[in-house]
A and B are shown apart, each in its own frame.
Chain A
Amino acid sequence: MEKKDIIQSFKDSLFTGLIALALFGPIVGLRTASKGEGLYITPQWGIVFLLVGLCIIGRFLINLNSARKTEITFFSKFTSKFSAITEDKAKHFAITAILFAIVFPFLPFTDRYFMDVAIMILTYIMLGWGLNIVVGLAGLLDLGYVAFYAVGAYSYALIATTFGWSFWICLPLAGVFAAFFGILLGFPVLRLRGDYLAIVTLGFGEIIRIILINWYEVTNGPDGITGIPRPSFFGLPFKRSPDEGETSFHLFFNLEYSTMHRIIFLYYLILVLALITNYFTLKIRKLPVGRAWEALREDEIACKSLGVNPTNTKLTAFAIGAMFGGFAGSFFATRQAFISPESFTFIESAIIVAIVVLGGMGSQTGVVLASIFLIGITEMFRDLEQYRMIAFGGAMVLIMVFKPKGILANRKPTILMHGDKK
């Protein structure tokens, strides 16, 4: 490298520093805090100088090695090797993962906290798989997926508290309701272009939330619905002292009462629900409708000219995705025994979209890895919670810039014209 280049890149870094100063100076450097009546400013110049310094050094290093290109190749080499491995060993990986998931509750180090985190991760895996049908397979960016989750949760809660029906009747009903809402929304909007569709689904998600907040008579407004019945083990409730005429789970199996029974049951419940979602997706991908989804994702005009009805095809994807969202929603309701509109904000939708996008749209394994990574890791570092969403958003941008098809780019067509050429 010549001297001129070094001076050039030094100047460039200083410019970066200047911009960084302008960015961080007012927002980070001058923190507003209310004291008494008015607002006061607490300067925090230390952090600003640290950030600006980091930007200058970072930029300089990038310039020096012109690291950007090597970084990209390194990054993509790494991820493509990774995805190649997972692709080759997809079956082994899946079986190992499922076996691990089955024995997980009985491992010696598994305690209540681990189980709660695992249930949460599995819920997000299920939501991710459900959304993957819409985003990954059909290529429709749905930013309001949480609306279907909410519809599922609320319909479960309302049916269960009003009629007192059991979980196993309410679950399919909740799914049906969510699918119905999916069709209701999808029918008019699915002819829209991709980015418009994303915004409209976002608007729909917000409308549902605002209705949930304001429709006091039915949804009890911001206070939410309490006392949602817990699921029972085929009619055997998980109670320490069952009501008269009832036998509870631990009495029936002659076990010592423990709250873990219910947690373990919930864990298996969501595991089974998630696996059903996955199995369904894998199967439907090979059916004509699944193939039509993927074809539509790749080229809508070509599909139209070949006689595929885009609106109906997209509508099925939308409805099926919504249905799985509804299932996950009713699981959420029964697990929490309490739901309120606060659980169904736009951020929730964004997290699910982030999981699907980071995993590589269309990749089932990717969703699992992304959920474990995004939900699990951030759960471990609870103290840093406020930085969590910055990392989420930042990861979405980075993935789009460096590896737009996701960490596990699995958009391999499921069918090829002359067999699988290698």
Chain B
Amino acid sequence: MEYFIQQLVNGITLGSIYGLIAIGYTMVYGIIGMINFAHGDIFMIGAFVALISFIIFGLTGVALPIILLLVLLIAMLFTACYGWTVEKLAYKPLRGSFRLAPLISALGMSIVLQNYVQVAQGARVKPMQPLISGGLEFFKNSEFIVTVSYLQIFIVILTIILMGIFTYLITKTDLGRAQRACEQDRTMTALLGINVDRTISITFIIGSSLASVAGMMFVLYYGVIDFYIGFLAGIKAFTAAVLGGIGSLPGAMLGGLLIGLIETFWAGYVSLEYKDVAAFSVLIVVLIFFPTGFLGKPDIEKV
């Protein structure tokens, strides 16, 4: 039982990270109907920017909460630039091209980003000393002590705050309305005087910033990153987006949580070596039997 609770806590933490990345997939899919294959690598770049800024601020000796806030903002800003540029260079010229073109272009972009970081930062893994240590312990009398680290609490709370801001942004502001309108009908939205290109750019910026926050969490949580982390995390987050129903924002978060839990429990109870197989199998099974996910709308093909 204690072991179960420990896995639950770990799973929720991991799920928060996946959920934040999944939002980027689901938003882009909702608005332009493409799988942004490079999104996982945007997350990886976010992790690198966060790592670099942690090192720089670590030398200055500023208080920890300020460092965290600054790193968060810096990572969001610089990663958003990447998301914006990728969209401008690789996806925008392809609107109206044949269906697989954006996917192939995104695949190319993903390869470029991965190898660019490898060349620029080196292929070795980058370890970082833990910044936030300690935690709360429960069930002290039992054999297995459940630990909830402060870092896990930080990750979950930060995710909840960001989700709150994000939900407000999408449901209550003009920007969010424009974004949802573009999702429903791009041509009509353009006719009504909304700058569709700008809205799509902003979608990419928001998605990338959320992914960069996930990147920062990843650096803090695992303490080690390399240029290849984006591939697996990207696939898992995409699975999360599909599981929750692609195009649905609460679905992405729900899917993220589920994937985090599935992966953690699989690793804890079934087999550690095959934990990535669990995520891939969920992806395949969901796509085949359950392509609308939990909160998605059925996708009807029209002539």
Contacts and interface: CB of A to CB of B under 8 A. Distances in A.
A288 B53 CA distance: 61
Contacts of B266: none
B54 to A, nearest CB: 9
A34 B126 contact: yes
Contact of B115 (A32, A143, A389): A389
Interface string A41-58: 100000000000000000
Contact of A203 (B100, B114, B115, B284): B284
B112 A393 contact: yes
A28 B120 contact: yes
Interface in A110-140: 139
B119 A210 contact: no
The SS class assigned to the B binding surface is helix
Contacts, number: 176
A350 B89 CA distance: 20
Interface residues of B, number: 67
Interface residues of A, number: 59
Interface in A84-110: none
Contact of B94 (A141, A198, A404): A404
A141 B115 contact: no
Contacts of A206: 235, 276, 280
Interface in A174-219: 188-189, 191-196, 198-200, 202-204, 206-207, 210-211, 213-214
A393 B103 contact: no
A322 interface: no
Contact of B108 (A25, A213, A400): A400
B101 interface: yes
A416 to B, nearest CB: 20
Given A204-B284, A404-B94, A393 B111 contact: yes
The SS class assigned to the A binding surface is helix
Interface in A19-52: 19, 22-23, 25-28, 30-34, 38-41
B218 to A, nearest CB: 15
Contacts of A292: none
B303 interface: yes
Nearest to A48: B120
A10 interface: no
A404 B104 CA distance: 10
A386 interface: yes
Given A189-B287, A210-B277, A400-B101, A395 B120 contact: no
A82 interface: no
Interface in B86-124: 89-90, 93-94, 97-105, 107-122, 124
A39 B283 contact: no
Given A26-B78, A203-B280, A387-B115, 5 more contacts: A194-B100, A195-B35, A195-B99, A200-B283, A386-B119
30 contacts: A19-B81, A23-B82, A23-B85, A26-B53, A27-B120, A30-B52, A32-B51, A34-B124, A34-B126, A39-B55, A198-B35, A198-B100, A199-B238, A203-B283, A206-B280, A210-B273, A211-B277, A347-B111, A390-B111, A390-B116, A393-B111, A397-B108, A400-B97, A400-B101, A400-B102, A400-B104, A400-B105, A400-B108, A401-B94, A404-B98
Interface of B: 34-35, 45, 48-49, 51-53, 55-56, 77-78, 81-82, 84-85, 89-90, 93-94, 97-105, 107-122, 124, 126-129, 231, 235, 238, 273-274, 276-277, 280-281, 283-284, 287-288, 291, 299, 301, 303
Give 9 nearest A-B pairs by CB, closest first: A396-B108, A393-B111, A393-B112, A203-B280, A400-B105, A389-B115, A397-B108, A393-B108, A22-B81
